């Protein structure tokens, strides 16, 4: 039996139930509410206010995800997903138990997340297949980048990173480093 807390509350900004731009493949994108980074030029400034958005349970989001058999992956975006790490960890458990790919955007770098030395953060990082890390920097904005908005951000292959013990960038299906 799947062991996760269906009743944990997530503060959401919204969802895109059938996305082809928020990561590889056909995926569900969950946009959380609340972000302290406030990057100038942010693509989702409406997600910054921690009092905005709406509350939903982990179970409600998960049920929405699995009702579509075409979904191959889920992306956590925002806002800042790692400001709601406890709730997203519960959702990640259910997502991974169902064999779905898991991607997350964060304004924090991978190294900053590791330096938290927080069990929930560490466990969520262990479940990710892809992490896009780093704050959006408007002066480094590049519309030709896949899955990221500015050149300082990295698309990290978390499975290879864990195996190699160092950051490995994600390769597209065409062998192109992103």
Which residue range forms the structural domain that includes residue 101? 9-164
Residue 172 has pLDDT above 80, yes or no: no
pLDDT band at 2 (very low <50, low <70, confident <90, very high): confident
Which run of H or of E encompasses 15?
strand 9-19
Residue 160: inside a domain, yes or no? yes
Residues 21 and 128: their CA atoms lie apart, in Å, by 18
Q: What is the pLDDT of residues 87-141, one digit of tens each?
A: 999 999 999 999 999 999 999 999 999 999 999 999 999 999 999 999 999 999 9
pLDDT band at 1 (very low <50, low <70, confident <90, very high): low
Residue 170: inside a domain, yes or no? no
pLDDT band at 173 (very low <50, low <70, confident <90, very high): low
* Phi–psi pair at 149, nearest 5 degrees: -105, -25
Residue 151: inside a domain, yes or no? yes
Residue 175: inside a domain, yes or no? no
Q: Of 146, 28, 29, which is closest to residue 78 (Cα–Cα)?
A: 29
Domain tally for the chain? 1
pLDDT band at 31 (very low <50, low <70, confident <90, very high): very high
Residue 68 has pLDDT above 90, yes or no: yes
What integer pLDDT is reported at residue 128 of this predicted model?
98
Strand ordering across the sheet containing 9-19? 54-57, 9-19, 27-32, 73-77, 101-106, 130-133, 154-157
Residue 4: inside a domain, yes or no? no
What integer pLDDT is reported at residue 176 of this predicted model?
46
Record the pTM: 0.95
Q: Please give the mean pLDDT across all residues of the chain.
A: 94
With the CA atoms of 40, 46, 78 and 109 taken in that order, what torsion angle do they form, in degrees rounded to the nearest 10?
A: 20
Residue 69 has pLDDT above 80, yes or no: yes
What integer pLDDT is reported at residue 3 of this predicted model?
85
Residue 88: inside a domain, yes or no? yes
CATH of the domain at 120: 3.20.20.70
101-106 and 130-133 beta bridge pairing = parallel
Residue 154: inside a domain, yes or no? yes
Residue 39's SS3 state is coil
Residue 156: inside a domain, yes or no? yes
């Amino acid at each position: 039996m799947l062991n996760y807390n269906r009743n944990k509350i997530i503060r959401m900004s919204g969802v895109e139930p059938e996305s082809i731009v928020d990561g590889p493949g056909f995926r569900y994108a969950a946009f959380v509410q609340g972000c302290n980074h406030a990057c100038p030029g942010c693509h989702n400034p409406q997600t910054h206010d921690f009092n905005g958005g709406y509350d939903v349970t982990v179970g409600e989001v998960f049920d929405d995800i699995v009702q579509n058999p075409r979904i191959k992956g889920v992306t956590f975006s925002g806002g800042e997903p790692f400001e709601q790490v406890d709730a997203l960890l519960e959702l990640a458990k259910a997502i991974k138990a169902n064999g779905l790919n898991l991607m997350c955007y964060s304004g924090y770098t991978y190294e900053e997340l590791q330096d938290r030395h927080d069990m929930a953060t560490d466990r969520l990082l262990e479940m990710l297949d892809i992490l896009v890390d780093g704050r959006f920097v408007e002066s480094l904005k590049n519309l030709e980048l896949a899955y990221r908005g500015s050149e300082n951000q990295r698309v990290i292959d978390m499975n290879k990173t864990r195996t190699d013990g160092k950051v490995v960038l994600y390769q597209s299906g065409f062998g192109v480093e992103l």
